[in-house]
Amino acid sequence: MADRKQLKVLSPGKIGGLKLRNRIIRSGCFEGMCPGGSPSDPLLEHHREVAAGGAAMTTVSYCSVSFDGRGFDTEMWMREEIVPELRRLTDAVHREGAAASIQLGHCGYFSNKSVIKRRPLGASRKFCTFRRAFSREMTEQEINRVTEDFGKAAALSVKAGFDAVEVHAGHGYLISQFLSPYTNRRRDRFGGSLENRLRFPASVIKQIRETVGPDFPILVKMNLKDGFEGGLEVEEAVEVAKRFETEGASALIPSGGFTAKTPFYMTRGRVPVKEWIQGPRGLLEKLGLFLFGSFLVQTYPFEEMFFLEDARKLRQAVSIPVALIGGICSVDNMEKAMDEGFDFVQIGRALIMEPDLVRRMERGDWQASKCDHCNRCIAEMEKGGVWCFSKVKGLYQE
């Protein structure tokens, strides 16, 4: 094991004009702690604890830029009235010496009709098995409106004291839906060629950059692969990354998977069907999960640093910082990422289980996460807030 004083991952880093105390970022993972779309005290405490635990920056997620971009009632949506509560959160994080980022996005075709009270919007008309509903193809006027919503949400994020914004352009969210040939079947200037499919995503990054100024950090989470035939592949993802850099992105987070089709491509490990059934669902949905859940949701075996091979290709194609995500669960993983040329690592489940892991790394008494990738924390998001099942139930011991 390397001397803690020599670990590059514990050295200061920089994204845009933002200096960070180390290179470990809590990744954006939907917390389920925004009842009615507003931030709560548990959300504040969740991120304060991560900040106190030593992470350089914590990412508040998911925040929709529009009311019609939400998948759950417990997902935040950005508006003026929640800015004071968000300021309380960012102030709490700052008091612990960390920076705060907020993940901005729009669910698009997998928005929840019962939450948004209207038919979901999408790049094209598409049936979403996740919601059992068809979306409506966005008009150019609606595309322009959502682009402006991203800019307005970024401006309010700055007002709320956030140090960075993270644009969600992956995982089958709306921007990703325009990029993917699977969900973008348009025949106008927003569909067809990659250049056309990039038109809306690129305009979002440009709009935010024009709104926040030249030095404010804009991180972009994007897909390397959608995880199925007919979706975005890494060759096109590299071109997408280059365009995002051109339009003003400060850093990239290459990920993968489609929430409404291949949700566990982005996490790997166990599919928590039993815990999903116990969530707040209707009887027919519970029965469907019980009978067909293990067949409908594809399983991907967990392996450490599972996005590394494809992320290398993107890292080599851009000059802005790139954060490695996906199966980063030990000091050795983090240092390997640094040796490979990545500037930061983003960590989700390990920090949910052990929010103080960075402080413990600094003391020399943390080497690897005890997270077993059971993914029950994902199912718990729908039951009042994300937490580590194994830790709370006493299955994990310090």
pLDDT digit string, tens, across residues 181-219: 999 999 999 999 999 999 999 999 999 999 999 999 999
The percent of residues in the chain predicted with pLDDT above 70, rounded, is: 86
The pLDDT assigned to 295 comes to 44
Q: Is this structure's pTM higher than 0.85? A: yes
Distance in angstroms (rounded) separating the CA atoms of residues 355 and 358: 8
The predicted-structure confidence for 278-293, as pLDDT tens digits, reads as follows 555 454 444 444 444 4
Q: Which pLDDT score is estimated for 5?
A: 63
Residue 280, pLDDT score: 52
Span 261-288, mean pLDDT? 62
Whether 374 has a pLDDT exceeding 80, the answer reads no
Selected residue with higher pLDDT from 384 and 296: 384
Name the strand (E) or helix (H) holding 344: strand 344-347
pLDDT tens digit sequence for 103-135: 999 999 999 998 999 999 999 999 887 777 899
Please tell me the predicted confidence (pLDDT) of residue 398: 46
Residues 293-313 have a mean pLDDT of 82
* Cα distance between residue 22 and residue 373, in whole Å: 25
Residues 6+ apart with CB under 8 A from 337: 9, 305, 308, 324, 328, 345
The average confidence (pLDDT) of the chain is 89
- Weakest-pLDDT range from 28-32, 279-283, 303-307: 279-283
List the catalytic residues: 173
Q: What b-and-e string marks burial along 313-344, b requiring 16 or more CB atoms within 10 Å of the CB?
A: ebbebbebbbbbbbbbbbbebbbbbbeeebbb
Q: Is the pLDDT of residue 180 over 80?
A: yes
The answer to whether the beta carbons of residues 47 and 61 sit under 8 Å apart is no
pLDDT in tens, 53-91: 999 999 999 999 999 999 989 999 999 999 999 999 999
Q: How many other C-beta atoms lie within 10 A of the C-beta of residue 228?
A: 15
Mean pLDDT over 158-169 rounds to 98
Residue 385 predicted with pLDDT over 70: no
Q: Quote the radius of gyration of the chain (alpha carbons, Å).
A: 20
List, in order of start, the domains of the chain with CATH numbers.
4-392 (3.20.20.70)
